[in-house]
Amino acid sequence: MGWMKPTSLDRKNFFNHKGREVHKGKTSNLFPSRSLMTFVFNKRRKRRIMNPIETILQKYPAMILDGALATELERRGADLNDSLWSAKLLIENPELIRQVHHDYFAAGADCAITASYQASLEGFMRRGLSKNEAIALIQKSVQIAAQARDEFWREETNQNGRPRPFVAASVGPYGAYLADGSEYRGEYGLSQSELEQFHRPRMEALIAAGADMLACETIPCLIEAQAIVNVLKEFPNVSAWISFSAKDDVHISDGERLADCAAWLDSFPQVAAVGVNCTAPQYISSLIREARHATNKPILVYPNSGETYNAEIKGWDGEACEAFSEQAKQWYESGAQIIGGCCRTTPDDIRAIAEWARA
Give one DSSP letter per residue of 167-227, joined into a string. EEEEE--HHHHHTSSGGGT------HHHHHHHHHHHHHHHHHTT-SEEEEEEE-SHHHHHH
In whole angstroms, give the CA distance from residue 115 to residue 111: 13
Number of structural domains (the chain) is 1
Which tops the pLDDT comparison, 238 or 176?
238
Measured between its terminal Cα atoms, the distance across the chain in Å is: 31
The alpha helices in 76-169, defined as continuous H runs, are 88-92, 94-107, 121-125, 131-153
Range of the domain at 119: 49-357
User: Is residue 341 one of the residues assigned to a domain?
Assistant: yes
Give pLDDT, residue 24. 38
Give pLDDT, residue 85. 76
User: Is residue 12 one of the residues assigned to a domain?
Assistant: no
In whole angstroms, give the CA distance from residue 165 to residue 163: 6
Give pLDDT, residue 82. 81
Q: Which helix (H) or strand (E) holds 113?
A: strand 111-113
Q: Which amino acid does the sequence have at 91?
A: I
CATH number at residue 300: 3.20.20.330
Average pLDDT over residues 265-286: 97
* 146-168 residue pLDDT tens: 999 999 999 999 999 999 999 99
In whole angstroms, give the CA distance from residue 185 to residue 139: 28
Tell me phi and psi for residue 243, to 5 degrees. -125, 125
* 231-243 residue pLDDT tens: 999 999 999 999 9
With left for phi above 0 and alpha for psi between -120 and 50, is residue 267 left, alpha or beta? alpha
Give pLDDT, residue 317. 64
Half-sphere exposure of 103 (CA within 13 A, CB side): 17
Residue 95 makes CB contacts below 8 A (sequence gap 6+) with none
Give pLDDT, residue 318. 63
Give pLDDT, residue 321. 66
For residue 33, pLDDT beyond 50: no
Residue 344 makes CB contacts below 8 A (sequence gap 6+) with 68, 71, 304, 305, 306, 307, 316, 320
CB 346 within 8 A of CB 72: yes
The residue length of the chain stands at 359
User: Is residue 107 one of the residues assigned to a domain?
Assistant: yes
What percent of the chain has pLDDT above 90? 74
The whole model's pTM is what?
0.86
* 186-226 residue pLDDT tens: 989 999 999 999 999 999 999 999 999 999 999 999 999 99
Tell me phi and psi for residue 159, to 5 degrees. -95, 0
Quote the DSSP letter at residue 156. G
Which tops the pLDDT comparison, 310 or 59?
59
Give pLDDT, residue 157. 97
User: Is residue 6 one of the residues assigned to a domain?
Assistant: no
User: Is residue 177 one of the residues assigned to a domain?
Assistant: yes
In whole angstroms, give the CA distance from residue 147 to residue 192: 35
Mean pLDDT of the chain: 87
Strand ranges across the sheet with 213-219: 63-64, 336-339, 299-302, 271-277, 240-244, 213-219, 166-171, 111-113
User: Is residue 4 one of the residues assigned to a domain?
Assistant: no
Which tops the pLDDT comparison, 277 or 40?
277
Average pLDDT over residues 290-298: 98
User: Is residue 22 one of the residues assigned to a domain?
Assistant: no
Tell me phi and psi for residue 317, to 5 degrees. -105, 160
For residue 26, pLDDT beyond 50: no
Is the dihedral angle over the CA atoms 46, 162, 203, 193 positive or is it negative? positive
User: Is residue 182 one of the residues assigned to a domain?
Assistant: yes
Half-sphere exposure of 229 (CA within 13 A, CB side): 23
For residue 333, pLDDT beyond 90: yes
Give pLDDT, residue 11. 40
